[in-house]
């Protein structure tokens, strides 16, 4: 394997003068006609040229900004020297899903935001795309399996945290069963992230790999309804991981949300992006948007809905947000892509009522203008209604993307599990262990709606602790820190 460079021997000045490589992305007019990935694959020479811009910082800020601590400079050095397999293996040593994180991480807030180029106001090294490039190009070697240990573990939730736990435990010889409420594995990766951001083929491949490792999937099974944590322990599982996410949709609390033509974000995204056969029965019929679609809310899910509505053929797609762009959460890159694709934005507006037409379908949205007042508990300035500014817009479809909450009903139903006042599970930050012996948790169920990469991080951490418990005895939890 090519050795790590001597940082003093790297020509930093020369590298800093190199131009950024153009990111290959499909023309907006073309890409909104299908649900294929917006980004195109790089060719090796373009990827190498981009990797060569990395100046090999000795205390690389990008590594510190990556929740997984990926050894980015070394991986890019290997790519620059055409050793794609070795570069992929560096990413894979700290990340179970580099092909996913490379595509969906909000890099401008993480690794790329910390890159020295970004701090100079220049395009950062395209770390995410390069991570996805090497992971796509280098087939993932089949790991050396440990002999079966005879110990059993269960994972509840087949999203990024749960899949990570399952993989790490299966490789170490433990028998793992993964339960999930959806009909197919993937959680947010399949039933949240649209295919134009990340092909669901990647989820299929990851699930197939886990099955080859011996992981058993039990779909359409909700904890608390179809199976209880007690049953899992009674059936002989010695360690159980809860990766149930935070997928309860926040209510709009306005009149008209039950009208035909009004969708919650998740059913809308699933109906448009997930193969019919992999949807739950209630979401089999699919979705239609008409000519004018209104997406209410901000953040990544709202942008996913906006871009999905455009791909479904809506001629006019507007995102209505009650604050300004400055306060809008989510990835700026996705907002830019949505703008390129024709999305419009209306800032400082709040819908107050959805109105039906003669056929009973939604046909209009009543709104009021807002202004920003004093900061609220989140630190963002609170939107306040401006009197006398009510107005009405005609719509064919309204999609409500108002954010997600943890699943309080499920976690409150698990005896001995401590949760906070927002129904987030309390865990020991070193191990993911909960207040109940043998029960671990991670991802959005612990953090609230967060990132795929933090779910992977939690999964890796919990898998280590669960392995220790399965091989050496109990792990003591300290959930107070
Ligand atoms: Fe950047 Fe995410 Fe990859 Fe870390 S996992 S290097 S934050 S893209």
Q: Are strands 292-296 and 404-405 parallel, antiparallel or unpaired?
A: unpaired
Same domain as 413, residue 384: no
Same domain (yes/no): 321, 393: yes
Residues 380 and 266 in one domain: yes
- pLDDT at residue 480, rounded to an integer: 61
Output the domain CATH number for residue 129.
1.10.1060.10
Q: Would residue 144 count as lying in a domain?
A: no
Task: Write the DSSP symbol of residue 215.
Answer: -
Q: Tell which residue, 446, 451, 481, 480, has the closest CA to residue 462.
A: 446
In a domain, 45, yes or no: yes
In a shared domain, residues 84 and 169: no
pLDDT above 90 covers a percentage of the chain that reads 92
Q: Which of 204-213, 351-360, 372-381 has the lowest mean pLDDT?
A: 372-381
Q: Among 91, 103, 105, 331, name the best residue to mutate to test ligand 1's pocket (greatest count of ligand atoms within 8 A of Cβ).
A: 105
89 Cα–ligand 1 center, Å: 14
Same domain, 270 and 368: yes
Q: Tell me: the pLDDT tens digits for 50-104?
A: 999 999 998 899 999 999 999 999 999 999 999 999 999 999 999 999 999 999 9
Ligand 1 pocket: which of 96, 107, 458 to mutate (most atoms within 8 A of CB): 107
| Close Cβ partners of 46 (under 8 Å, ≥ 6 residues apart) | 21, 22, 24
Q: Over range 291-301, report the average pLDDT.
A: 96
Q: How far is the CA of 145 from the centre of ligand 1 (A)?
A: 27
How far are the Cα atoms of 15, 74, 354 from residue 481, in angstroms, in the given order? Answer: 43, 33, 45
Q: Among candidates 44, 127, 122, which has minimal Cα distance to 91? A: 127
Q: What is the mean pLDDT of residues 127-149?
A: 95
Tell me, yes or no, whether 287 and 386 share the same domain. Answer: yes
* Nearest-angstrom CA–CA distance, 172 and 5: 33
CATH number for the domain harbouring residue 432: 3.50.50.60
Model pLDDT, residue 377: 81
Distance (Å, whole) CA 89 – CA 464 = 19
Q: How confident is the model at residue 144 (pLDDT cuts 50, 70, 90)?
A: confident
Domains contained in the chain, number:
3
Band the pLDDT of 7: cuts 50, 70, 90: confident
Q: Are 257 and 176 within one domain?
A: no
**Does residue 164 register a pLDDT over 60?**
yes
Distance CA 325, CA 74 (A): 36
Q: With 60 as the cut, is the pLDDT of residue 481 above it?
A: no
Query: Which of 137, 169, 194 is at the close of a domain?
Result: 137
On whether residue 478 sits in a domain, the answer given is no
What is the rounded distance in angstroms from the CA atom of residue 304 to the CA atom of residue 109? 18
Instruction: Tell me the C-alpha to C-alpha distance, in Å, between residue 12 and each of 9, 52, 63, 126, 208.
Output: 9, 10, 18, 17, 43
Instruction: Indicate which residue's Cα is closest to atom 4 of ligand 1.
Output: 66
The answer to whether position 147 is within a domain reads no
User: Are 21 and 49 spatial neighbours (Cβ–Cβ below 8 Å)?
Assistant: yes
175 DSSP 8-state letter: E
Residue at token pair 């400055």:
326
Comparing CA positions, the residue from 412, 416, 462 lying closest to residue 242 is 462
Indicate if 115 and 23 belong to the same structural domain.
yes
- pLDDT for the residue 1: 81
Same domain, residue pair 366 and 295: yes
Check whether residue 288 and residue 361 sit in a common domain.
Answer: yes
Note down the domain range covering 11: 7-137
Amino acid 103: pLDDT: 97
Pocket test for ligand 1, best of 68, 88, 115, 135 (most atoms within 8 A of CB): 68
Of the residues 404, 419, 447, the one at which a domain ends:
404
Q: Is residue 43 part of a domain?
A: yes
DSSP H/E element including 46: helix 44-51
pLDDT band at 135 (very low <50, low <70, confident <90, very high): very high
Residue 286: band (very low, low, confident or very high) from pLDDT cuts 50, 70, 90? confident
Which three-class secondary structure string do you get for 269-329?
HHHHHCCHHHCCHHHCCCCCCCCEEEEECCCHHHHHHHHHHHHCCCCEEEEECCCCHHHCC
Cβ–Cβ under 8 Å, residues 73 and 54: yes
Atom index in ligand 1 nearest the CA of residue 72 equals 6
Q: Quick one: pLDDT at residue 145?
A: 84
* 280 and 371 assigned to the same domain: yes
Question: Does the pLDDT of residue 474 top 70, yes or no?
Answer: no
Span from the CA of 109 to the centroid of ligand 1 (angstroms): 10
* 477 token code pair: 């939890």
Q: What is the pLDDT of residues 401-434, one digit of tens each?
A: 999 999 999 999 999 999 999 999 999 999 999 9
Does a structural domain hold residue 278? yes
Question: What dihedral do alpha carbons 196, 200, 206, 209 form, nearest 10°?
Answer: -140
Q: How confident is the model at residue 370 (pLDDT cuts 50, 70, 90)?
A: very high
Helix (H) or strand (E) holding 162: helix 160-171
Is 424 a domain residue?
A: yes
Note whether residue 481 is domain-resident.
no
Ligand 1 centroid vs 460 CA: distance in angstroms?
15
Lining residues, ligand 1, CB within 6 Å: 66, 68, 70, 72, 95, 101-102, 105, 107, 110-111, 127-128, 131, 453
Q: Of 103, 137, 171, which residue constitutes the final position of a domain?
A: 137
For residue 475, name the pLDDT band (cuts at 50, 70, 90).
low
Going by CA atoms, what residue is nearest to atom 1 of ligand 1? Answer: 111
341 shares its domain with 390: yes
CB-based contact 301:450 (threshold 8 Å):
no
Whether 436 shows a pLDDT value over 90: the answer reads: yes
């Amino acid at each position: 394997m090519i050795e790590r460079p001597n940082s003093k021997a790297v020509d930093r000045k020369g590298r800093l003068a190199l131009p950024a490589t153009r990111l290959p992305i499909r023309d907006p007019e073309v890409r909104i006609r299908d649900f294929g990935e917006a980004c195109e694959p790089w060719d090796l020479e373009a990827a190498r040229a981009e990797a060569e811009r990395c100046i090999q910082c000795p205390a690389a800020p990008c590594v510190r900004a990556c929740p997984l601590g990926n050894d980015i400079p070394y991986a890019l050095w290997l790519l620059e020297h055409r050793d794609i397999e070795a570069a992929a293996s560096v990413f894979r040593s700290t990340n179970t899903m580099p092909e996913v994180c490379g595509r969906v991480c909000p890099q401008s807030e993480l690794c790329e935001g910390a890159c020295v180029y970004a701090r100079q106001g220049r395009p950062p090294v395209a770390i995410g795309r390069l991570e996805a490039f090497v992971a796509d190009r280098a087939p993932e070697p089949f790991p050396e399996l440990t002999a079966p240990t005879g110990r059993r573990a269960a994972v509840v939730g087949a999203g990024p945290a749960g899949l990570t736990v399952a993989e790490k435990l299966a490789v170490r010889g433990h028998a793992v069963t993964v339960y999930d409420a959806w009909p197919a594995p993937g959680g947010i990766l399949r039933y949240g992230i649209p295919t134009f951001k990340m092909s669901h083929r990647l989820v299929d491949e990851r699930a197939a790999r886990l099955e080859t490792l011996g992981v058993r999937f039990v779909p359409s099974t909700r904890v608390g309804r179809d199976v209880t944590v007690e049953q899992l322990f009674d059936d002989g599982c010695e360690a159980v991981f809860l990766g149930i996410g935070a997928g309860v949709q926040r209510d709009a609390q306005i009149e008209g949300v039950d009208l035909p033509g009004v969708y919650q974000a998740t059913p809308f995204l699933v109906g448009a992006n997930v193969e019919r056969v992999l949807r739950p029965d209630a979401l089999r019929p699919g979705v239609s948007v008409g000519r004018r679609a209104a997406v209410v809310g901000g953040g990544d899910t709202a942008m996913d809905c906006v871009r999905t509505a455009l791909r479904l053929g809506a001629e006019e797609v507007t995102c209505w947000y009650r604050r300004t762009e400055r306060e809008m959460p989510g990835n700026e890159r996705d907002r830019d892509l949505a703008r390129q694709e024709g999305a419009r934005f209306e800032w400082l507006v709040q819908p107050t009522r959805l109105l039906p037409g003669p056929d009973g379908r939604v046909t209009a949205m009543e709104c009021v203008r807002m202004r920003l007042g004093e900061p609220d508990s989140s630190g963002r300035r609170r939107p306040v209604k401006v009197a006398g500014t009510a107005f009405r817009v005609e719509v064919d479809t309204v999609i409500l993307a108002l954010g997600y909450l943890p699943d309080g009903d499920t976690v409150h139903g698990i005896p001995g599990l401590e949760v906070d006042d927002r129904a987030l599970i309390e865990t020991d930050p070193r191990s993911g262990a909960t207040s109940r012996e043998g029960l671990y948790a991670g991802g959005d169920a612990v953090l609230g709606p967060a990132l795929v990469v933090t779910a992977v991080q939690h999964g890796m951490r919990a898998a280590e602790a669960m392995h220790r418990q399965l091989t050496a005895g109990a792990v003591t939890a300290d959930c107070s820190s």
